[in-house]
Amino acid sequence: MSDAPSPGISAETLASISVPDRLETVFGEMDFFDGLPLPDTVTRGYDALDLLRGIEVFLTCLPGAAMVAMRRGLRSLGIDSRTIGYTAPRCGSAPLMLTANTETAYGLAFLALDQDGPTVIEVPEGSLSVVDDLWQRYVADMGIAGPDGGKGGRYLFLPPGYDGDVPDGYFVSRSPTFSCWAALRVLGGVESLLRTRIYPLSDAADPPGQRFVNFADSAFNTVPANDLSFFEEVDEIVQEEPPEALDPERAGQLASIGIVPGTPFRPDDRMRSILGTAAQIGSGLVRTLTFKPRDPSFYYYPGGSWKNMFPSGSHEFLSPQGARLLDARAVFHHGALVITPAMAAATVGAGSQYAYTAEDSTGAWLDGGRNYTLTLPKDVPAKNFWAVDVYDPQTRSLLRTGDPYPSVNSLSGAVRAEDGGETVVHFGPAAPPGREANWIQTVPGKGWFVVLRLYGPLESWFDRSWRPGEVEPA
């Protein structure tokens, strides 16, 4: 490379805008002739670029891949757009589902607005229900956090591009995608959930009987892949949904690796290898972001380990300055499902709040072969109820133990409080004598993490005057 400065331009300036003849990089050596890449560098450069873009697609498209995996899992049980899958008596650890809880009765369905047209969902009283589009973006709340205020109501969902008549008597929303996910929860339990109805608007005069499928004990997978098939899951959305449902930036990332609307996704052997590696690296990176975030805003308390999946309080993962918090978005969608303002916003007495950790009070990872305790001080700030659930860090699903319900919660009349009013939750391979109702079993040789849930969180949660203890080695 010539280092002779041009007239009027210093050598320092020229050096700052030039590339040396050899670069030592994490991708290997890159060689140039006076700024021109040599043949091996061209090959290595494109391999590096495709790998980087594959990793970025993995991190940014986790929300959509999770929806496709969920839809595929429900379809494997025969749950179609006119069927509600539900859990009775409650969800257990048989299905692989991202941080499902064991306390509320779930109902799950995917609308097909392209096939069924405008679709009605009737929710009963006490509903805590949400509809997200196929990229897992918020469409509408139904129930306590929605416009019916928990009294029950009829909701109408319109497909993209719909320009027909919209009748009165409905809470109306328009989805950016034809397929969208209805996550249904009802405080009144299974009996109340079974009063939910989903049907096409064209059948509103005489709605058909509702079909339900109980999947509580069914072992099926709804967790997105960590290999090449992840990109096939994302391609499924791109091919099915309107191109305008996706923002240009993410559409550009997808196009750079060969995922384009109307074009078959057929990566050659080189690209298949690169994308398979990208998915594995992306999975490793998002696990680091999830369990050891470096951004202090993830942590609820200075010096503590309890973490917040919505560190900015925005369900769109926006900072106060309007920037997208990319790490926060990846963390949430790696470990959880359902996007709604009711989960992110600080609303006293409504919605829900969550805290999670995979560390004990010393900073060590939680070990399924050891015993631990978690103290919840008296007056847990939950208007409706609180729960502590344990999960497998590999699948981010309920930990599979001898008990299909690895949780302790205030809905159980057997949970004991101590004399001072605090509740001590025990974790370990065997129950401590006399504390069986307050114990969650763990598995030797496996790690685990815990989620604290507050339904109807109260002011003392938001002002931090109430604080859960750390998980203490026993």
Over pLDDT 90: what percentage of the chain?
91
Q: Are residues 89 and 201 in the same domain?
A: yes
User: Mean of the pLDDT values across residues 301-314?
Assistant: 94
State which of 214, 232, 260 marks the end of a domain: 214
Side-chain-side CA neighbours of 221 within 13 Å: the count stands at: 6
pLDDT score of 412: 86
Mean pLDDT of the chain: 95
In a domain, 337, yes or no: no
pLDDT score of 3: 54
Supply the CATH number for residue 68's domain. Answer: 1.10.3360.10
State which of 191, 214, 237 marks the end of a domain: 214
Contacts of 59 (CB under 8 A, 6+ apart): 282, 285, 286, 326, 330
CA distance 283 to 222: 16
- pLDDT value at 211 more than 60: yes
- pLDDT value at 22 more than 50: yes
Q: Are residues 100 and 176 in the same domain?
A: yes
Q: Are residues 378 and 465 in the same domain?
A: yes
Sheet with 423-428, edge to edge strand ranges: 439-441, 423-428, 372-376, 472-473
Tens digits of residue pLDDT in 78-133: 999 999 999 998 899 999 999 999 987 899 999 999 999 999 999 999 898 999 99
125, 150 contact by CB (below 8 A): yes
* Overall domain count for the chain: 4
440: which strand partners? 427
Q: Are residues 99 and 195 in the same domain?
A: yes
Q: Are residues 256 and 149 in the same domain?
A: no
Tens digits of residue pLDDT in 274-295: 999 999 999 999 999 999 999 9
User: Mean of the pLDDT values across residues 165-185?
Assistant: 97
In a domain, 16, yes or no: yes
In a domain, 177, yes or no: yes
In a domain, 362, yes or no: yes
Supply the CATH number for residue 364's domain. Answer: 2.60.120.600
Q: Are residues 71 and 109 in the same domain?
A: no
Q: Are residues 405 and 442 in the same domain?
A: yes
pLDDT score of 57: 98
Supply the CATH number for residue 88's domain. Answer: 2.60.40.1610
In terms of phi and psi (left: phi > 0; alpha: psi -120 to 50; beta: otherwise), the region of 100 is: beta
**Confidence at 375, pLDDT banded by 50, 70, 90:** very high
DSSP 376-430: E-SS-SEEEEEEEEEE-TTT-SB--SSSS--EEETT-TTPPPPTTS-EEEEEESS
CA distance 266 to 359: 42
* Angle between helices 62-75 and 39-60 in degrees, nearest 10: 60
CA distance 240 to 252: 17
pLDDT score of 143: 94
Q: Are residues 202 and 265 in the same domain?
A: no
In a domain, 60, yes or no: yes
C-beta atoms surrounding 205 within 10 Å: 6
State which of 172, 188, 214 marks the end of a domain: 214
427, 406 contact by CB (below 8 A): no
pLDDT score of 404: 95
C-beta atoms surrounding 389 within 10 Å: 24
* Angle between helices 39-60 and 248-256 in degrees, nearest 10: 130
pLDDT score of 4: 56
What does the DSSP 8-state code read for residue 340?
-
Q: Are residues 47 and 116 in the same domain?
A: no
Side-chain-side CA neighbours of 466 within 13 Å: the count stands at: 16
- pLDDT value at 188 more than 90: no
User: Mean of the pLDDT values across residues 34-49?
Assistant: 97
Q: Are residues 260 and 238 in the same domain?
A: yes
In a domain, 201, yes or no: yes
Tens digits of residue pLDDT in 384-417: 899 999 999 999 999 999 899 999 999 888 899 9
**Confidence at 314, pLDDT banded by 50, 70, 90:** very high
In a domain, 320, yes or no: no
Structural domain range at position 434: 346-473
Read off the amino acid at residue 94: A
In a domain, 327, yes or no: no
385: which strand partners? 455
Task: Give pTM, 2 decimals.
Answer: 0.94
pLDDT score of 261: 97
**Confidence at 7, pLDDT banded by 50, 70, 90:** low
Backbone angles phi, psi at 66, to 5 degrees: -65, -35
Q: Are residues 69 and 137 in the same domain?
A: no
> Where are the alpha helices (H) located in 61-173, listed in sequence order?
62-75, 113-116
pLDDT score of 5: 53
Tens digits of residue pLDDT in 338-372: 999 988 887 888 778 999 999 999 999 999 999 99
SS3 category, 286: helix
- 200 upstream amide cis, omega within 30 of 0: no
- Angle at the Cα of 438 (from 217 to 368), degrees rounded to 5? 70
Q: Are residues 70 and 117 in the same domain?
A: no
SS3 category, 374: strand
DSSP 230-280: HHHHHHHHHHHS-GGGS-HHHHHHHHHTT-BTTB-----HHHHHHHHHHHH
Tens digits of residue pLDDT in 240-273: 999 999 999 999 999 999 999 999 999 999 999 9
* Angle between helices 269-291 and 326-335 in degrees, nearest 10: 90
